[in-house]
A and B are shown apart, each in its own frame.
Chain A
Amino acid sequence: MGIWDKLTRLLGLKKREVNVLVVGLNNSGKSTVINHFKSEEERSTEIVATVGFNVEKFRNKNVGFTAFDMSGQGRYRDLWEHYYKECQGIIFVVDSSDRLRLVVVRDELDLLLQHPDVTGRRIPILFFANKMDIREALSSVKIAAALGLERILDKPWHICASNALTGEGLQEGVEWLTQQIRELVSNK
């Protein structure tokens, strides 16, 4: 607990604001995930497919997050790479019931990992195996295997099953991410 406090203080001195990039295919639930992190009064009741991207702000454990909610539609996916440089963490949302497009997810993940602004950086990646409530949904273990996450050796990563409609699993994930970013910042 002593280290924890120290870290918070250290961070307090240095940086309280972090940028996270939220990516994933269209319809995976990115906007719904971010919507859940916002405070009750800011939350929107209806979520429509994102065009281009949206910038959203929320706080978790005393850290201010600026989330870039990217659109996952094919024609907007080439926007993602322009934000790799500025972000300190990546949230990758996967629709675990969309078995057909797991190959596409893997392909997009490979493109992300091979990008010069991402390779060689110890940038934490959080995977949400979202829509776990749907009957055909694959488990987070199966998703991790299908995406070949074991290949990521030079970055901290974490996957958790989630339901963005109820918020199940989201807190666990974002806590992991907060901690990772803190560690990174304090190690600098």
Chain B
Amino acid sequence: MSEIRNINAQRWLDAFSEPHAAIYTFSHCMALADLNGDNDYKLIVADLGTGTMNIKLKVYKGTSLFTESTLIDVPTGVVTFHMDVSEPRIPAVAVASGPNIYIYKNMRPYFKFSLPTLEVNALERDLWLQMRDKCMEVDTFFELIQNLRQEIGFTHLTPRSQQLLLLEHEKWKSFVETHVTTPLKKQTVITSITTLNKNMAEEDAVACLVVGTENGGIYVLDPEAFTVLESLSLSGCSSSNNTVPVHLVATGLFDVEYRILATCRDGTICLLRRGFQEAKVLVQLSTQVVAMVVILENNNIVTALMDRTIQCFTRKGKKHWEIKSPKNVTTMGVVPLHHLSLTLLAVAMTGGTVQLYEGRQLVDVVTVPDTVSALRFGHFGQEENTLILITVGGSLYVKILKRTAHFTPQNDCIGLVPAQQIKMAIPKKTKLFVEHTMRERENAIAMHQTFQHDLFRLRLNTARACVRALESCNNPISTSTVDPLKMTAQVLGLGPKFKLYLTLENMSVSSTSKDLAISFHCDDKIYSVEKPFIYIPVLAPGLTYQFETGVECVSELGISDQIRIFIVKLDQSEPLLAVMVAMPACDTLTNV
């Protein structure tokens, strides 16, 4: 780890850090733009404050706060875009908040766009009307609204009914009384916002706004007139009713060909293209998505998931790779480095590390004292390669990439080592080796035939031995289903007196074997067996039994022979199993 930090100290310059900046925000609510047309790029941040107070739109010029304006409601996204072709090229700022988009020009409020109102459910409207005319008790009214919720789903109710359903019993009445007279309106809220260039690819070309809404809608808005150019619904393209777009990425040109990717709360990634009647599900992920980015060079979609994985998909939705992240990911961002023709992926994790990946290769790590909640890389001030990090504690850190920095994969870290980088210790090709390979190449067919021949030989021999063993029952293991037995024999002693030890085991699970006997067969001119017949009354399953007998070599010649041992069932003619014991040669000298 220390090694990485050293490299990192060489790559990134700490341009500015303000631990007490008190900005609480997410990557969506941060933008970098040349707001004054003087090539001094500003940082625009929508500060969420406490969530109810101190909600502000802040603009940083270099290291100092430039302007600050209060926002009415919690922002869900901030983007900058060019509304028209007028000179100087000053971009407008769009802040999405609730059902509205607030447009600022020259940092002054310019226009407010509101999402079109939706049709209220007829029954819901009737219920509220009846309530207004005081035809109903509050409790029955609540009950009926509750039933309606079961029927059409919470998200399809008006915000007023939703709010009512969340209230405690004693507050129902006063809530209904205060609101019942105003007309019922249903409007959804904006969950995400991005831009899509209209007909030119340049960075400062006119761009449309693309917004995703809580009811699963995607709208493309005209940059000048703010009319809805395109609207599509995501609900219905997936089985769950939770296809709410939370991350949007739009590429291409609206007038020519475009792709809008939306990751939804249910883990689907949907694709919208020019001419699509409805959205297409590109990927169905197993868990929820924390962040999504698209690498412009190859159109790869990279997602960070709740299960601590980072997964990459091709533009067609095919999985490309997956890596485990050591900690929970909080946000991601793209780091395009034009001077190196490289696009890195910045992944912020809990604890304050920001890892930089090239493809799936870890190439750098940047650390700050606290978990990063928002990050953005781009042109800030006069500097093109600036990384801006805002932590959960509200600190602001600005890092500048050194001009001399290069990124090479770090092998000893997570991520895979590319195969071509492993150097194997391959010995030098000797003359012998070369000749051998030549020979092998020339005689390939003959070699194969010889091998096959030998293989068949081996198989034949095995088969023969098997048949012989079966025929003679010369098998230390009885496979008979009634009496599965196993026997081993051991000869002890130097001769002429030997001891023969036999171990018998009943291998069946439960049934005992009865009325068995051991008998010995040998040339009586050579050996005499002390107990040629041993009766076994019973063999309990799972236990091993020991039997023994003395054997004496009676031959003077000092030759050795085999003894065959049979296990027989008393009323059967064929032995259950047989073992052949080769007796050792008897050392006659010791007998003397």
Which of B9-17, B50-58, B172-180, B498-506 has 4 or more CB atoms under 8 Å from chain A? B9-17
Counting chain B CB atoms within 10 Å of each CB, the highest count among A98, A102, A103 belongs to: A103
Decide if B320 is an interface residue (CB 8 Å cutoff): no
Decide if A27 is an interface residue (CB 8 Å cutoff): yes
The reply to whether B382 and A27 contact each other, CB–CB distance below 8 Å, is: yes
Decide if A183 is an interface residue (CB 8 Å cutoff): no
B389 to chain A, nearest CB (A): 14
The reply to whether A111 and B383 contact each other, CB–CB distance below 8 Å, is: no
B385 to chain A, nearest CB (A): 8
Partner of B404, one of A26, A99, A103, A111: A111
The reply to whether B384 and A103 contact each other, CB–CB distance below 8 Å, is: no
Known A74-B403, A77-B403, A136-B64; judge A100-B383 contact (CB<8 A).
yes
The reply to whether B14 and A74 contact each other, CB–CB distance below 8 Å, is: no
Known A74-B339, A77-B403; judge A99-B383 contact (CB<8 A).
no
Decide if B387 is an interface residue (CB 8 Å cutoff): no
Partner of A107, one of B16, B382, B384, B402: B402
CA–CA, A26 and B40, complex, Å: 12
Nearest-neighbor residue (CB-CB) of B63 within chain A: A99
Query: Among residues 13 to 46 in chain B, which have CB atoms less than 8 Å away from a CB atom of chain A?
Result: 13-16, 39
CA–CA, A158 and B431, complex, Å: 71
Decide if A141 is an interface residue (CB 8 Å cutoff): no
Q: Enumerate chain B residues within 8 angstroms of A95, measured Cβ to Cβ.
A: 382
A51 to chain B, nearest CB (A): 15
Partner of A75, one of B64, B339, B380, B404: B339
Counting chain B CB atoms within 10 Å of each CB, the highest count among A27, A98, A100 belongs to: A100
The reply to whether A103 and B14 contact each other, CB–CB distance below 8 Å, is: yes
B158 to chain A, nearest CB (A): 48
Partner of B382, one of A25, A75, A77, A103: A25
Instruction: Fill in one digit per residue for A58-75: 1 if any B CB lies within 8 Å of its CB, else 0.
Output: 000000000000000011
The reply to whether B380 and A103 contact each other, CB–CB distance below 8 Å, is: no
The reply to whether B400 and A101 contact each other, CB–CB distance below 8 Å, is: yes
Q: Enumerate chain A residues within 8 angstroms of B336, measured Cβ to Cβ.
A: none
Decide if A79 is an interface residue (CB 8 Å cutoff): no
Q: Enumerate chain A residues within 8 angstroms of B62, measured Cβ to Cβ.
A: 98-100, 136
The reply to whether B382 and A26 contact each other, CB–CB distance below 8 Å, is: yes
Decide if A104 is an interface residue (CB 8 Å cutoff): yes
Instruction: Fill in one digit per residue for A146-187: 1 if any B CB lies within 8 Å of its CB, else 0.
Output: 000000000000000000000000000000000000000000
Partner of B13, one of A25, A74, A104: A104
Decide if B75 is an interface residue (CB 8 Å cutoff): no
Nearest-neighbor residue (CB-CB) of A99 within chain B: B63
Nearest-neighbor residue (CB-CB) of B398 within chain A: A100
Counting chain B CB atoms within 10 Å of each CB, the highest count among A26, A95, A99, A111 belongs to: A99
Nearest-neighbor residue (CB-CB) of A102 within chain B: B15
CA–CA, A74 and B403, complex, Å: 7
B442 to chain A, nearest CB (A): 58
Q: Enumerate chain B residues within 8 angstroms of A101, measured Cβ to Cβ.
A: 15, 381-383, 400
CA–CA, A144 and B234, complex, Å: 59
Instruction: Fill in one digit per residue for B490-501: 1 if any A CB lies within 8 Å of its CB, else 0.
Output: 000000000000
The reply to whether A103 and B339 contact each other, CB–CB distance below 8 Å, is: no
CA–CA, A52 and B403, complex, Å: 16
B338 to chain A, nearest CB (A): 9
Partner of A100, one of B63, B403, B404: B63
CA–CA, A95 and B39, complex, Å: 15
Query: Among residues 74 to 102 in chain A, which have CB atoms less than 8 Å away from a CB atom of chain B?
Result: 74-75, 77-78, 95, 98-102
Main secondary structure on B side of the interface with A: strand
Query: Among residues 337 to 391 in chain B, which have CB atoms less than 8 Å away from a CB atom of chain A?
Result: 339, 380-385
Interface range, A side: 10 to 19
Main secondary structure on A side of the interface with B: helix
The reply to whether B339 and A100 contact each other, CB–CB distance below 8 Å, is: no
Q: Enumerate chain A residues within 8 angstroms of B385, measured Cβ to Cβ.
A: 74
The reply to whether A100 and B16 contact each other, CB–CB distance below 8 Å, is: yes
Q: Enumerate chain B residues within 8 angstroms of A107, measured Cβ to Cβ.
A: 13, 402-403
Q: Enumerate chain A residues within 8 angstroms of B381, measured Cβ to Cβ.
A: 98, 100-101
A10 to chain B, nearest CB (A): 41
CA–CA, A102 and B403, complex, Å: 14
The reply to whether A98 and B382 contact each other, CB–CB distance below 8 Å, is: yes
B11 to chain A, nearest CB (A): 11
The reply to whether A104 and B64 contact each other, CB–CB distance below 8 Å, is: no
The reply to whether B339 and A104 contact each other, CB–CB distance below 8 Å, is: no
Q: Enumerate chain B residues within 8 angstroms of A77, measured Cβ to Cβ.
A: 403
B35 to chain A, nearest CB (A): 16
A27 to chain B, nearest CB (A): 5
B523 to chain A, nearest CB (A): 99
Q: Enumerate chain A residues within 8 angstroms of B63, measured Cβ to Cβ.
A: 99-100
A49 to chain B, nearest CB (A): 9
B61 to chain A, nearest CB (A): 9
CA–CA, A74 and B13, complex, Å: 15
Q: Enumerate chain A residues within 8 angstroms of B14, measured Cβ to Cβ.
A: 103
Q: Enumerate chain A residues within 8 angstroms of B13, measured Cβ to Cβ.
A: 103-104, 107
A88 to chain B, nearest CB (A): 26
The reply to whether B384 and A104 contact each other, CB–CB distance below 8 Å, is: no
Instruction: Fill in one digit per residue for B399-429: 1 if any A CB lies within 8 Å of its CB, else 0.
Output: 0101110000000000000000000000000
Query: Among residues 5 to 28 in chain A, which have CB atoms less than 8 Å away from a CB atom of chain B?
Result: 25-27
Nearest-neighbor residue (CB-CB) of B13 within chain A: A103
CA–CA, A60 and B296, complex, Å: 53
The reply to whether B380 and A100 contact each other, CB–CB distance below 8 Å, is: yes
Nearest-neighbor residue (CB-CB) of A27 within chain B: B382
Nearest-neighbor residue (CB-CB) of A97 within chain B: B62
CA–CA, A171 and B14, complex, Å: 34
Q: Enumerate chain B residues within 8 angstroms of A108, measured Cβ to Cβ.
A: 403
The reply to whether B64 and A103 contact each other, CB–CB distance below 8 Å, is: no
Counting chain A CB atoms within 10 Å of each CB, the highest count among B13, B14, B382, B400 belongs to: B382
The reply to whether B400 and A104 contact each other, CB–CB distance below 8 Å, is: yes
Partner of B16, one of A78, A99, A111: A99
Q: Enumerate chain A residues within 8 angstroms of B400, measured Cβ to Cβ.
A: 100-101, 103-104
A3 to chain B, nearest CB (A): 44
Nearest-neighbor residue (CB-CB) of B400 within chain A: A104
Known A75-B339, A99-B63; judge A104-B383 contact (CB<8 A).
yes
The reply to whether A104 and B404 contact each other, CB–CB distance below 8 Å, is: no
Nearest-neighbor residue (CB-CB) of B16 within chain A: A100
CA–CA, A95 and B441, complex, Å: 73
CA–CA, A104 and B383, complex, Å: 9
Nearest-neighbor residue (CB-CB) of B380 within chain A: A100
Q: Please name 19 pairs of A and B residues whose Cβ atoms are closer than 8 Å in the assembled complex, sorted by A.
A: A25-B382, A26-B382, A74-B385, A74-B403, A77-B403, A78-B403, A98-B62, A100-B63, A100-B382, A100-B383, A100-B400, A101-B15, A101-B381, A101-B383, A102-B15, A103-B400, A104-B15, A136-B62, A136-B64
Given pairs A78-B403, A101-B382, A111-B404, 8 additional interface contacts (CB within 8 A): A27-B39, A74-B339, A74-B385, A101-B15, A103-B14, A103-B400, A104-B400, A136-B62
Give the 3 A-B residue pairs with the shortest CB-CB distance, closest first: A103-B13, A100-B62, A100-B381
Binding site for A on B (CB under 8 A): 13-16, 39, 62-64, 339, 380-385, 398, 400, 402-404
